[in-house]
């Protein structure tokens, strides 16, 4: 679709909010004779697909994730699962509500989820499910819609954490948080009503920075030298003014690691050149991170073992995911937030014996706003009309519904050292608009940053090392994708009519 500047501004600023209509619920699977399945939803924090064995990516051979890989071996691995706002609190809100940030009101880290918001926990509860969330909540307000909760306050601690239990107050537990969260999850499973289906959300703190690990893993990967990403030494001169000078770099991480009280040990860099220091920080980053991942996998194994031992495996949908992806030196970055692939892409692995084919893979584009509708579909419950996501149960059966999305819309709101931006990703291209404005978002930087467009040909440039925006050969591609971006913004009701300063930048930087 060839959009003019006027069409584009209208789509951004003055179109009526439209919620994406739901696709028909798949009939497949509805003839299963057994009762509605249980749902075990396991979510870690900041887990990159590059470190999970079954994804066969850059660091997968070092990841040692046999239990997570088992879910994929006995179920399906999604290759194109994406986050709509790659930062912890907003992503978690989107997963629960099935809505983009501008609809659920959780734009950044300082926002909280309105307890009155309709979300998947409460809807499953209404559908007769026993519901529980254990571990990292991170949404500020007290959990609602759960029969039981026992959650970390804020980020929580890796060692000897305090958790707050529904109706019981706060309690300090001795040990490593991942083990404790699993202990509490198993305790809840053992005490549930066996005659009712359940939805248990087990949320781990791992692998959030500073990537602390259990004592048993302190020598894991000793002596291993990890391969560096191609983009660790990227020359960012190809980038736009909107992104070139920003980001959380490995050099910054080195400064943190050099502190005497750094949780996983001090990085010694005396007498190192800047290049050597950066390389050393990268190696420590990956080593700490993978040690942190190790306890996730072990505890996923404990949960799977419980299902096996109690005859629950065949009647339980098991999902493993993370709240977003993570940079491990790619583009010389750590952290997430950006629309670039390592941050945007989420792991999603699911098993449901008898319905999902073992060892299958889906290339369909799925978003975190789709998770809640999927779980409600398995429960035989209708999704809320307020939910913008759609169930992908049919996709998990290998049957892509007609009209399934070919492009996804992304928006990062928390303007700061990673500038505010939005964009669209198709199978082949990614178009990004770095608008660099805080727009009154809580916790956002007020000072504007640079503005610019970037376009990446993911087919030719999967590591996003060459911005081709402005090259004459891509002029028609840009026009078409800008049109698609306007359509998606309109469809999801993200009109920006409240932000004249942003609309002015769109007008000014259209070309």
Whether residues 497 and 416 fall in one domain: yes
pLDDT in tens, 444-463: 999 999 999 999 999 999 99
Domain's final residue, options 283, 301, 321: 283
Same domain, 440 and 468: yes
Does some domain include residue 102? yes
Six-digit token pair at 64?
């040692």
Position 3 scores a pLDDT of: 55
Total residue count of the chain as it appears in this document: 511
By C-alpha distance, which of 429, 444, 437, 424 is closest to 490? 424
Whether 110 is covered by a domain: the verdict is: yes
In-domain check, residue 203: yes
Domain that includes residue 227, residue range: 218-283
H or E element that contains 506: helix 500-508
Burial readout 79-94 (b: 16 or more C-beta within 10 A, e: otherwise): ebbbbbbbbbbbbbbb
Structural domain ending residue among the three candidates 375, 401, 427? 401
Do 298 and 166 fall into the same domain?
A: yes
- What beta strand segments (E) does 22-108 contain? 38-44, 76-82
What's the CATH number where 421 sits?
3.30.1120.10
Is residue 76 situated within a structural domain? yes
In a domain? residue 169: yes
Angle at 366 between CA 361 and CA 372, to 5 degrees: 115
Same domain, 194 and 300: yes
Give the phi and the psi of residue 234 in degrees, each rounded to 5. -60, 135
List 40's β-bridge partners, or say none: 200, 318
Angle formed at CA 283 by CA 278 and CA 285, multiple of 5 degrees: 90
Query: pLDDT tens digits, residue range 308-355?
Result: 999 999 999 999 999 999 999 999 999 999 999 999 999 999 999 999
pTM here is 0.94
Distance of CA 39 to the CA centre of its chain: 19
In a domain, 127, yes or no: yes
Are 199 and 70 members of one domain? yes
Where is the domain boundary, 283, 312, 338? 283
CA distances 215 to 171, 219, 220, 284, 495, Å, are 22, 9, 10, 17, 50
Q: Are residues 426 and 319 in the same domain?
A: no
CA distances from 374 to 96, 221, 317, 378 (A): 11, 37, 11, 6
What is the count of structural domains for the chain? 3
Considering the domain architecture, whether residues 127 and 227 belong to the same structural domain is answered as no
CA distance 307 to 351: 12
Peptide bond into 210 cis (omega under 30): yes
**Is residue 357 one of the residues assigned to a domain?**
yes
Q: Are residues 253 and 238 in the same domain?
A: yes
Per-residue pLDDT of the chain (511 residues; tens, 9 = 90+): 455 666 666 666 544 333 333 333 433 444 343 579 999 999 999 999 999 999 999 999 998 999 999 999 999 999 999 999 999 999 999 999 999 999 999 999 999 999 999 999 999 999 999 999 999 999 999 999 999 999 999 999 999 999 999 999 999 999 999 999 999 999 999 999 999 999 999 999 999 999 999 999 999 999 999 999 999 999 999 999 999 999 999 999 999 999 999 999 999 999 999 999 999 999 999 999 999 999 999 999 999 999 999 999 999 999 999 999 999 999 999 999 999 999 999 999 999 999 999 999 999 999 999 999 999 999 999 999 999 999 999 999 999 999 999 999 999 999 999 999 999 999 999 999 999 999 999 999 999 999 999 999 999 999 999 999 999 999 999 999 999 999 999 999 999 999 999 999 999 998 7
CATH of residue 72's domain is 3.40.720.10
Whether 34 maps to a domain, the answer reads no
Helix, strand, coil share of the chain (percent; to 5): 35, 20, 50
Q: Do 121 and 170 share a domain, yes or no?
A: yes
**303 and 276 co-located in one domain:** no
Same domain, 139 and 247: no
Check whether residue 181 and residue 311 sit in a common domain: yes
């Amino acid at each position: 679709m060839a959009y003019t500047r006027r069409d584009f501004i209208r789509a951004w600023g003055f179109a009526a909010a439209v919620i994406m209509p739901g696709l028909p619920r798949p009939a497949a699977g509805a003839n299963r004779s057994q009762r509605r399945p249980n749902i075990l939803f396991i979510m870690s924090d900041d887990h990159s697909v590059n470190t999970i064995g079954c994804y066969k990516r850059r660091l997968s051979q070092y990841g040692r994730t046999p239990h997570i890989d088992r879910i994929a071996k006995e179920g399906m691995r999604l290759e194109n699962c994406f986050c709509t706002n790659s930062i912890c609190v907003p992503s978690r809100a989107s997963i629960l509500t099935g809505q983009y940030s501008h609809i659920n009101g959780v734009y950044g880290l300082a926002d909280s989820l309105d307890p009155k918001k309709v979300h998947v926990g409460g809807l499953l509860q209404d559908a007769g499910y026993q519901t529980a969330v254990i571990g990292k909540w991170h949404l500020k307000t007290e959990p609602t819609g759960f029969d039981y909760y026992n959650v970390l306050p804020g980020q929580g601690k890796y060692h000897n954490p305090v958790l707050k239990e529904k109706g019981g107050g706060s309690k300090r537990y001795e040990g490593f948080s991942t083990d404790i969260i699993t202990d509490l999850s198993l305790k809840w499973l053992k005490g549930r009503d066996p005659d009712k289906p359940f939805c248990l959300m087990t949320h781990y703190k791992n692998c959030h920075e500073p990537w602390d690990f259990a004592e048993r893993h302190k020598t894991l990967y000793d002596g291993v030298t990890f391969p560096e990403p191609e983009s660790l030494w990227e020359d960012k001169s190809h980038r736009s003014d909107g992104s070139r000078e920003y980001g959380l770099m490995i050099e910054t991480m080195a400064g943190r690691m050099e502190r005497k009280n750094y949780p996983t040990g001090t990085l010694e860099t005396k007498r190192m050149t800047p290049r050597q220091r950066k390389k050393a920080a990268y190696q420590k980053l990956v080593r700490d991170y993978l040690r942190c991942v190790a306890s996730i996998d072990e505890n996923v194994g404990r949960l799977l073992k419980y299902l096996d031992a109690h005859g629950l495996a065949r009647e339980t949908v098991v999902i493993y995911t993370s709240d977003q992806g993570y940079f491990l030196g790619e583009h010389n970055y750590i952290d997430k937030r950006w629309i670039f692939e390592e941050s945007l892409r989420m792991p999603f692995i699911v098993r449901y014996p008898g319905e999902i084919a073992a060892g299958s893979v889906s290339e369909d584009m799925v978003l975190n706003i789709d998770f809640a509708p999927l779980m409600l579909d398995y429960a035989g419950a209708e999704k809320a009309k307020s939910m913008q996501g759609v169930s992908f149960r049919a996709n998990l059966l290998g049957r892509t519904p007609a009209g399934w999305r070919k492009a996804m819309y992304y928006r990062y709101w928390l303007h700061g050292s990673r500038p505010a931006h939005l964009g669209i990703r198709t199978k082949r291209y990614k178009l990004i608009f770095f608008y660099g404005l805080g727009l009154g978002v809580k916790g956002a930087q007020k000072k504007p940053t640079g503005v610019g467009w970037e376009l990446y040909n993911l087919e030719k440039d999967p590591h996003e090392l060459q911005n081709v925006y402005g090259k004459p050969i891509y002029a028609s591609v840009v026009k078409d994708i800008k049109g698609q971006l306007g359509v998606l913004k309109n469809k999801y009701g993200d009109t920006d009519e409240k932000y004249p300063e942003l609309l002015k930048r769109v007008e000014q930087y259209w070309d």
